[in-house]
Each structure stands twice: as C-alpha cells, then as structure tokens.
Chains A and B, each alone.
Chain A
Amino acid sequence: MSYALEIEGLEKVYANGLQALKGIDLRVAQGDFFALLGPNGAGKSTTIGVICSLVNKTAGTVRVNDVDIDEDFPRAKRHLGVVPQEFNFNVFESVEDILIHQAGYYGIPLKIARERIDTYLAKLGLTDKRHTRARMLSGGMKRRLMIARALIHEPSVLILDEPTAGVDIEMRRSMYDFLREINAAGTTIILTTHYLEEAESLCRNIAIINHGEIVTNTSIKNLLRELHRETFILDSRRALPDELTVSGFELTRIDDYCLEAHIEQGQDLAELMSQLHGQGISILSMRNRENRLEQMFVSLLEQAS
C-alpha cells in the first residue's frame, strides 16, 4: 500500500535538550482525512515542522508519497501544502502578491498562477480582497489566505495546523465544506486541532500524541467504539415527578424538566425510554452531555501519563 505520509522512528531533540519527539511512527493513507491530536507541547507542530522542513530532525525517516525527505526533499515538498498555526506572510503585501510569490517559488509561471488565484480566491470567498493588503484582513480571512497559498501549487497532501483557530462558526462550517470537497477530489488532509468535534466530524483516522509519543493511532470509529460509558441529557415535556424509580440505570435529576442518564456499554436506551414512559415521562429531546471524543481523549492522556 502506498502512503501519503510515512514516519518511522522520528526523534527531535532541541538545542536546549528538550526531547520533543521520542521516536514516533505514523502512517497516513493516500486520500485519508487524518487528525493529529494532542495537548499543547505534545509534539504536533514539531512533527509538522519536520515534515515541511522548518525543523531539522534528530533521527528517523519521513516519506511523502514514497519520497524520502533525506533523499529528495525538493520533490517531497512539491507534494506538500502547509497551513501553519501562526500567520507567516508579509502583511504589507497584497493577497494577490502573496499568492503569486508562493506560486513562483514552486516554479509556476505567472499566467497559470493568476488562473489558480482566481479559482482559490473564489472558493475561499476572498475574491473581493484580491488587491487588499494582508494586514487589512480579518483573522478568518488571513487563515483562508493561508489555505489558498498552501493549495496554489496543487499539492496531493495538505497539512493544516489548527486551521480554524479564531474563525467564526459560519466561516468554520464553510471551511469544513471546502476541506471535505478537496478531500473528496483526492487530496490527503492531515490536520491538528484543539476542537475535538472538528476531528470527529471531518476525519476518518486519528492519532493522539502526548509527550512526543503516539498514544493511539486508529480510526475515529474504533476510538469511539472503545467508549464504555456515555452521559446523555434528557429533556422532559412535562415537569418530572418527585419520586423517580428506574431500575438498572443511573439517573441524576438536574432540574424539574431535565435528567442526566449514564449509559454503560451494552445497555439499551430503548429500555430506559420504556421505563420512563411507564412513569408518564415523555422525553422531548436527548443529547450528549459532552463531546464523546473529548472524553476519550482525556482518558487516553490520563492512561498515558
């Protein structure tokens, strides 16, 4: 099987002695939508830095679409588009100039660059900002500009480091749609994020990194399957009775109209509904108390440490 990204035994020790990566192994299949999660300082940005040549690795190998970065980094770089966490463009340049320059650094002639700029600015809702200086853009627009810049040479692997930080909900949703669209068109996407629901809704596979080590690397489905207990909030149509007896389930009354139900793996929700209905309680709506992935994330990190 051919991988978009293969990392073996990757280590990074900074000059101050900090061991940021302790021999991580990671494989991302071509066409995947992959999430790299971890708390601050876990090694996510260092990993991305090594892949895109901003960080010199201490040991290990990295291959992008079968191209070893130690053997032919320029060719590996052609496959990669990177959207870093921090804004890294000259804010005194116009949006168009930033994109033309980036295209030029990949050897793309001006005529083709302008055509691609038309396309990506339209897709990312920045067409009317084409001649605006970057410093005049809002935070969300700057982030979209960085996505357009990362795509200007049409890479097969797009790496996004916290792409939706500081982006409002509406813009975040349109960004999700755009990322799904380019992933469906064949681009492998690897993202790091603090929004765990983002990973859950966008990604198929996930790796969790902590203290420079991969804690888990599996599919989102498998990860969620490992959840043993979930908490639901149930909203009742009418006020709850003072005495509530439900056997086999752990319930907590929040207020007169609201219940918290703790469901263990294997327990039947229909059975709970049936018992509540038997006591004259009609459930109007039901939702997860907290993000399921977040629960798993916290428990994995606790186990690891």
Chain B
Amino acid sequence: MSPYEQWVALLTLMRKEIRRYTRIWSQTLLPSAITMSLYFLIFGSLIGSRIGEMGGVSYMEFVVPGLIMMAIVTNSYANVVSSFFGSKFNNSIEELLVSPTPNHIVLLGFVSGGVSRGMLVAVIVTIVASLFVELNIHSYAVVVAVVTLTSILFSLCGLINAVFANTFDDINIVPTFVLTPLTYLGGVFYSLELLPDFWATVSQANPLVYVVNAFRFGMLGVSDVSVGFAFAMIGAFTLVAYLYAAHLLRTGRRLRT
C-alpha cells in the first residue's frame, strides 16, 4: 500500500474505534467519572483529611495523579481488549485480515482508539478532581508524555490479551487479577517510602509504580522514583509490548488457523 493508502486505512480504523466507544458513552466514559468521584470523596476528602500530608503534599493532592492514571490505564486497556476481542468473536476481524492493510497500521489503529479513550477519560476525571482540590501542573511536558506512553502501553496489553482470549470471561481475567492489584500496589494511595525495604524493592518490578510516579511528578513535582528511570522503564515496557503484539499479528497466532 502507498503511504497515502495506509493513511486512509489508519483514519478508517481510528474513526471506527472512536465511534464505537463514543456511541456507547454511558458504558465507556461515564463510569470512570462516577467511580473517580467516589474515590475523591472517600479516600481524598473524607479519609484523606484525617491522614494529613504524604510525600510533602496533602493526601488529596497525593492521590489525584494516581487516580487519574488509574482511569487512563483501565480505559485504554478495556477499549482495545473489548474492541479487538469483539472483532474476533463476530469474525469481523477477517475484514482486516483479508485486506492489504499492513499489521503496523492495524496495531496503530486499535491503539489510537485506546489512547484517545484513555485521554478523554483523563480529561473528564481531571475536571471531576478539580471540584475537590486545586490542581497545579508542575510539568506539562512530563504529563503529556506519561499519559501518551501509558495509554499506548496498556492499549497494546489489551490487544495482546484479546488475541489470546477465547471467551468474554478471558478478557476480564487480566484486569481483575492482574491490572487492579498492580494498580493498587503501584503507589496510587501510598508512598513507597511507607513500605518495608523488601516490598519497596519488589514494587520496582511493577510498571504501574513508574507510571503513577512519573505522572505524580508531572503534576506535583514529587516522585518516589527517578523520573528519568521511570520514563526508561515505561518506554521499555511499551517497546516490548509493541514488539510482541506485532509478532502476534505477523504470525497470525489465534487469528489465522
């Protein structure tokens, strides 16, 4: 395909993906706003007022970046896993497989759907958060870079999950048993300084730690880990996920017989 034809194919996929989740906005965009409002109210406002400071800022300010990032992670993941698995389930993925659309465009198309939903939810949750606490941005560049990289990373993870999933139950296993625990243990609600040395070291293997802390640095200027190292880790995780997803599409594993 010529570059222009690839561009047309990418726009087609992006348009399709964005229309999919905006058409069912009450299932895709609204729940995050409600859930995060409850988090802000309970953990930030009610319980947070009794906790005092954490990481040098009020507890409410401390949890906001983590909760925004949690929304980005779950939404970008959920968007791609449900869309790609849905296409597999109703066999409409064959429309793409029989076409000359290159695999990198297929990947980019699905990922851009996840990224756009992640970012849209981030904006919604940030607006909700601003009702509870005054928000300041320490570094716009870091915020934009972390949001973009994180939503790409978890969109790719969603696609990998969808490739291997056989049933709708399979697409809920990873978010329930992997993603949610990693998010809660990734420093959304506490500083790693509070952990014993052993568990603080174990936490270094959790990608959510780097995502949450880099974003917290972008918003508050505080982080439990070096921001440069956090970006390197997020970048490495993203590269590995991209290469593996591209490998799955190239070999047609679980897609072609």
Taking Cβ atoms with an 8 Å cutoff, the residues of A that contact B are: 14-15, 49, 52-56, 73-75, 77-78, 80, 82, 84, 86-91, 97, 100-109, 149
Considering the complex, which residues of chain B in the window 165-203 have a beta carbon less than 8 Å from any beta carbon of chain A? none
Give B94-106 as 1s and 0s: 1 = Cβ < 8 Å from A's Cβ atoms.
Answer: 1111111110000
B87:A90 contact, CB within 8 angstroms = yes
A226 CB to closest chain B CB, in angstroms? 36
User: Does B50 belong to the interface (CB within 8 Å)?
Assistant: no
Other A-B contacts than A88-B94, A90-B87, 15 sampled, CB-CB below 8 A, are: A15-B257, A53-B256, A54-B97, A54-B256, A56-B252, A56-B256, A77-B98, A82-B98, A90-B92, A101-B95, A102-B99, A104-B9, A104-B13, A104-B15, A107-B1
A47 nearest CB across to chain B (Å): 13
- Chosen A-B contacts, 22 in total, with CB atoms closer than 8 Å, are A14-B257, A54-B97, A54-B98, A54-B256, A55-B256, A56-B257, A74-B1, A74-B100, A77-B100, A80-B98, A86-B91, A87-B91, A88-B91, A88-B94, A88-B95, A89-B95, A102-B95, A107-B2, A107-B5, A107-B6, A108-B8, A149-B95
B100→A106 contact, CB < 8 A: yes
Q: In the complex the two chains form, is A88's CB within 8 Å of B12's CB?
A: no
Q: Judge whether A109 and B257 touch: CB under 8 Å.
A: no
Which residue in chain A gives the minimum CB-CB distance to B257?
Answer: A55
Contact B99 A105, beta carbon cutoff 8 Å: yes
Question: B16 near A75 (CB under 8 angstroms)?
Answer: no
Complex CA distance for A118 and B182, rounded to whole angstroms: 51
B57-107: which residues lie under 8 A (CB-CB) from chain A? 86-87, 90-92, 94-102
CB distance from A216 to the nearest CB of B (A): 27
Q: Are A53 and B98 interface neighbours, CB within 8 A?
A: yes
How many residues in B have their beta carbons less than 8 Å from beta carbons of A?
29
Q: Knowing A49-B257, A91-B90 touch, does A106 contact B95 (C-beta < 8 A)?
A: no
Bound state CA distance, A75 and B257, in angstroms? Answer: 22
Q: Which residues of the other chain, A, contact B11 by a CB distance below 8 angstroms?
A: 104
Q: Is the CB of B100 within 8 A of A78?
A: yes
In the complex, which residues of chain B have a beta carbon less than 8 angstroms from the beta carbon of A54?
94, 97-98, 256-257
Which of B1, B8, B11, B256 is most buried by chain A, counting CB atoms within 10 A of its CB?
A: B8
Out of B4, B9, B91, which one reaches A105, CB within 8 Å?
B9
A100-B90 in contact (CB<8A): no
Question: Which of B87, B95, B100, B257 has the most A CB atoms < 10 Å from its CB?
Answer: B100
| Bound complex: CA A14 to CA B97 (Å) | 19
Contact of A109 with B95 at beta-carbon distance under 8 Å, contacts A54-B256, A75-B100 already known: no
- Please determine whether B91 and A100 come into contact, CB atoms closer than 8 angstroms: no
Tell me which of B2, B16, B91, B100 contacts A101 (CB under 8 A): B16
CA distance A303 to B91 in the complex (A): 37
Binary flags per residue of B11-55, CB closer than 8 Å to A gives 1, else 0? 111011000000000000000000000000000000000000000
Residues of A within 8 A of B87 (CB): 90
Q: Which residues of A contact B2 (CB under 8 A)?
A: 107
**Complex Cα–Cα for A73 and B100 (A):** 7
Contact (A107, B92) CB under 8 Å given A54-B257, A77-B98, A102-B99: no
Q: Given A88-B90, A90-B87, A90-B92, check contact A105 B101 (CB 8 Å).
A: yes
Minimum Cβ distance to chain A for residue B228 (Å): 40
- Taking a contact as CB atoms under 8 Å apart, the answer to whether A89 and B98 are in contact is no
A53:B8 contact, CB within 8 angstroms: no
Q: Which of B12, B94, B256 contacts A84 (CB 8 A)?
A: B94
The minimal Cβ–Cβ distance linking A12 to chain B, given in whole angstroms, is 9
The interface residues of chain B lying within 8 Å CB-to-CB of A77 are 98-100
Shortest distance from the beta carbon of A92 to any chain B beta carbon, whole Å:
9
- Nearest CB of chain A from residue B2's CB, rounded to whole Å: 7
In the bound complex, residues from chain B placing their C-beta under 8 Å from that of A109 are 8
- How far apart sit A53 and B250, CA to CA, in the bound complex (Å)? 11
In the bound complex, residues from chain A placing their C-beta under 8 Å from that of B94 are: 54, 84, 88
Residue of A nearest to B1 (CB): A107
A104 to chain B, nearest CB (A): 3
